[in-house]
Amino acid sequence: MSAHRIWTVSDELWAKVAPLIPPRKRPKGHQYRRKPGGGRKPLDPRRIFEGTVCALRTGCQWKELPKVQFGSASAIHKYFLAWKQAGVFVRLWRQGLAEYDDLEGIAWAWQSVDTALGKAPWPTRPSAPTRRTGGKRGTKRSLLVDAHGIPLSILVSGANRHDARLLTPTLDRLVVARPAGRHTLVCG
């Protein structure tokens, strides 16, 4: 029995992801003819997605992706950035939330927002507190979840932002529409 890898994408999941992947863009009027044995063949989109899942699930650096399994790490990162720009991951998130809502139901009656600080990069020089940064480096994530812990919104900002200033933008970034009659916000 082969070991299951955490980045392996099942056929069922790939059937849902594949329609969201944008087609490769070529400049108009250009005919690309690869000479036999010349250049690299384009990477398979499923392989690119599995490489992306590997990097996100393991937390490894892009350049540390196993070349044998995924090919060029820089190419996978390039596709990740292009797919992010095209909104592939937000559409996938929305699709997953819609499916979850059909199966279990999003718990709209209660949500929670919390923030967490991310690691700051190694400083190249000591940073003195300034009015703008307060001396804090790194990132802060603000996450909105439903009663079951299902993420509904996320916002990433600089570590120097106060939690209270992130509340409204986090609530405004819901990736699915709140049902009618569920617009009450109670802060405690």
* Residue-level pLDDT at 1: 42
* Residue-level pLDDT at 188: 46
**Is the pLDDT score of 169 beyond 90?**
yes
Higher-scoring residue by pLDDT: 49, 118: 49
Which tokens hold the place of 77? 């990162």
Higher-scoring residue by pLDDT: 16, 69: 16
Which pTM value belongs to this model? Answer: 0.76
Q: What is the Cα–Cα distance from 77 to 11, expressed in whole angstroms?
A: 23
Mean pLDDT of the chain: 83
- Buried b / exposed e over 71-85, threshold 16 CB at 10 Å, is bebebbbebbeebee
Average pLDDT over residues 76-93: 94
Q: What tens digit of pLDDT does each residue of 2-46 get? A: 455 777 889 999 999 999 999 877 667 677 676 777 767 778 999
CB of 137 within 8 A of CB of 161?
no
Q: What is the Cα–Cα distance from 58 to 67, expressed in whole angstroms?
A: 15
* Residue-level pLDDT at 161: 85
Q: What is the Cα–Cα distance from 36 to 130, expressed in whole angstroms?
A: 59
CB of 144 within 8 A of CB of 174?
yes
CB of 80 within 8 A of CB of 21?
no
